[in-house]
Amino acid sequence: MNNLTAPTSEEYAPFYADYVERAEARGDVLAALPQQIEEIKSRLGGLSEEQALFRNAPSEWSIKEVMGHLNDVERVFSYRLLRISRNDATPLPGFEQDDYVREAGFDHCALKDLIQEFEFLRRANMLAITNMSDESALRRGTASGATISAGALIYMLVGHVDHHMASLREKHLPALQ
């Protein structure tokens, strides 16, 4: 891919506007993809297993659960990206993130494994995006009942991570210092 431009508001559901805006704020979204691997390692890689179980409220996700959620969404968004970029017009269903986190048991996983899993997923996605044609990024499909473009999904991959990392910096990590 040589030319990725910011998606217009017609290329994604309003729910995803925060993710797209966060990605736009980065400037070069393609450069942000590998940067986020290092940012996660830097921010979370030094936490102990006990610290990674911290949740800022009983009803909130632990740090491990947030990391597991990032992995789940990396998979879901990349699957949508694959299907839409390949011109598959089949509508794609949504998913319930809280159910996924509850059923996954991320608190029983090693934090280092969750971080490594993210790195592997992201690196695979970076290769797929690099090999994607500019035309493919413009293609649109339907996910969660709304129109979405392949390019918007690339922005959403970046913005979703930034959204949760900001939340961790604001709500979780200060309590561990």
**pLDDT tens digits, one per residue of 28-44:** 999 999 999 999 999 99
Instruction: Please report whether residue 70 resides in a domain.
Output: yes
Instruction: Please report whether residue 3 resides in a domain.
Output: no
How, if at all, do strands 140-143 and 146-149 pair?
antiparallel
**pLDDT tens digits, one per residue of 40-62:** 999 999 999 999 999 999 999 99
Instruction: Please report whether residue 63 resides in a domain.
Output: yes
- Do the beta carbons of residue 66 and residue 175 sit within 8 Å? no
Model pTM score: 0.96
Instruction: Please report whether residue 114 resides in a domain.
Output: yes
- Quote the Cα angle for 27-31-32, to 5°: 75
Share of the chain above pLDDT 70, in %: 100
Q: Is the pLDDT of residue 164 over 90?
A: yes
Q: How many domains does the chain have?
A: 1
Instruction: Please report whether residue 1 resides in a domain.
Output: no
Instruction: Please report whether residue 77 resides in a domain.
Output: yes
d(C-alpha 49, C-alpha 106), whole Å? 12
Instruction: Please report whether residue 52 resides in a domain.
Output: yes
Label residue 177 by pLDDT band (50, 70, 90).
Answer: confident
Instruction: Please report whether residue 4 resides in a domain.
Output: no
CATH number of the domain encompassing residue 144? 1.20.120.450
d(C-alpha 82, C-alpha 61), whole Å? 29
